Amino acid sequence: MEQHSFLQPIRYSGRNYSFIAWNNARPLFTRRVRQALTQAIDKREIIDTLLEGFAEPAVGPLLPFNWAYDKNLRDVSYDPAAAQNLLQQEGWLDTDGDGILDQQGKKLEFTLKTNADNQLRRDIAVMVQAQLRRIGVQAKVEAVEWNLLLEQVFKRQDFEAFISAWDADFTVNPAPLWHSAAIANGYNIVSYRNVRVDSLLEKARTLVDRRAAEPLWREFQALILQDCPYMFLFVPEKLAAVNKRVRGVEMDVRSFLSHLHRWEIATAQRE
């Protein structure tokens, strides 16, 4: 780094989150199974291995920069033993001793899709496959050409699980992802249904007073985490480097130029 000693590195949060979507419309992905799969995935290992630590765990459907984000929301813990217990409660046992759980002659297996042109997501899929294998779940990784993936997932909802990411908006409007009406007319591609969530989304959006809306948004986030329609993975950080002569540099989720008006270049000191 000596040849770049004149630079100062800056890390700042991005405004998208990566996730694994479980297709709630498929009989396999009951609430308990979704919870188990989520608890069996070590997102910290994924962050440290594939992103070299340059990301923060994603906790729920809103991101920290949003005013409605619940800072006290507890993430689903990584707990393979608890995950195995949940699967046993659903009747998934390794009856033939081959290391894969089964039920009435059917293996606990599914296909995990992602877009073929994204190396990071393909690597995540392989890591998730290995982590799930430890608790007796067989995930088959399938890398799909992007246009075909759009057709399968977003148009026909023909998938079991897939890895992707959403850009988060600065406004609070998660209804297009989570309201049951968005299954047919929106981006609720996992066919998630929860009557209470629908009610919260409808009510919270009508409230102008943030203090009145906050408890509704907190409950909404908690319910999504409990139901586990997604496995929320991480919020990647962005990296930049600035000449040390430039003072007052700040960058945030809005843009690397969001505080440009405060930047100034220090004049060289004569000896």
pLDDT of the residue at 1: 43
Question: What angle, rounded to 10 degrees, do the helices at 210-227 and 195-204 form?
Answer: 160
Q: How far apart are CA 258 and CA 179, in angstroms?
A: 33
Q: What domains are defined for the chain?
A: 2-265 (3.10.105.10)
**According to the model, what pLDDT value does residue 141 have?**
98
Give 6's strand partners: none
Q: H helices within the chain, ranges in order? A: 31-39, 43-50, 80-89, 119-133, 146-149, 175-178, 195-204, 210-227
For residue 169, the model assigns a pLDDT of 79
Spatial distance between the Cα atoms of 39 and 55, rounded to a whole number of angstroms: 19
Model pLDDT for residues 56-70, shown as the tens digit of each residue: 999 999 999 889 999
**What Cα–Cα distance (Å) separates residue 123 from each residue in 22, 183, 221, 223?**
18, 29, 28, 30
Tell me the pLDDT band of 271, cut-offs 50, 70 and 90. very low
The torsion angle over the Cα atoms of residues 22, 28, 30 and 36, rounded to 10 degrees, is -70
Tens-digit pLDDT profile for residues 176-235: 999 999 999 899 999 999 999 999 999 999 999 999 999 999 999 999 999 999 999 999
Q: In whole angstroms, what is the distance from residue 119 CA to residue 127 CA?
A: 12
Q: What is the pTM of this model?
A: 0.85
The overall average pLDDT reported for the chain is 89
User: What is the gyration radius of the CA atoms in the chain, in angstroms?
Assistant: 21
Question: What is the spatial distance between Cα 112 and Cα 126, in angstroms, rounded to a whole number?
Answer: 9
